[in-house]
Amino acid sequence: MSNTPPSRPVVVITGASSGIGAALASRLAPTHHLVLVARRADALQALVASLGRADVVTVAADVTVRSEVEDVVETALARFSRLDVWVNNVGRGITRPPSQLTDADLDDMMTVNVKSALYGMQAVLPHFRLMGRGHVINVSSMLGRVPMATFRSAYSGAKHFLNALTANMRTEVQETHPDIQFSLVSPGVVRTAFGANALHGGPDSRALPNSQSADEVADVIAQLIADRRPDVYTRAGMAEMAVGYLRSLGEDP
């Protein structure tokens, strides 16, 4: 297998077997080399078949396990000799109000929504520093800005944590490596199996109002790869909603 550096950018997408991750893979396949990561090897293979590309790398891994994330980096570099973009897309919701949360609920939300992203950022960072450039994209949530769904309380809290962690990582790394970017993407309700797969069950996101498609979110992320902004929402009016929430608390952002 050739280790000649690729002419197209190399993008790692976690949680790639369905939803936003699969939509992003389809969106980027014509123009980027892809490393697709998920726990389900069969679903990854089905996705690759639909892309019609023989050079897509798949890695069956659990990104809540640090060593498996590190293995993804090694696999990608062994195949392409470089990485350009790492998309932390893994996430899981919950259906339980804050007054009823358990230790296990909090551990699950932090492990899936925060630790997986931290492991990705830390694993790819040495390569980005060596190259002097790179881009991490963390898929957050509008609930990480506005805690407007009490039954998603622990998920909302985890995404607030992810937002702060991303901003702090950006500040730390850019003190010495200004061309390494850490970006946040904040979708609202997306028509995927997210709700159906939430811890303790709950409403299906595909049946909720004011939703958008995974393809729409993928288009936003693809544009973000090109322009490397630090913070984006996935539809018009969402930034104003976040500002309105702060103002409702008496803040003046």
Given the residues 119, 155, 233, 245, the one annotated as active site:
155
Please confirm, yes or no, whether 233 is among the known catalytic residues.
no
**CB contact at 8 A, 63 and 69:** yes
Give Cα separations from 218 to 22, 24, 186 (angstroms): 9, 5, 12
* Number of Cβ atoms within 10 Å of the Cβ of 134: 22
Task: State how far the Cα of 248 lies from the Cα of 189, in Å rounded to an integer.
Answer: 22
Whole-angstrom Cα distance, residue 62 to residue 2? 27
Distance in Å from the first CA to the final CA of the chain = 53
Residue indicated by tokens 């990480």: 144
Catalytic residues: 155
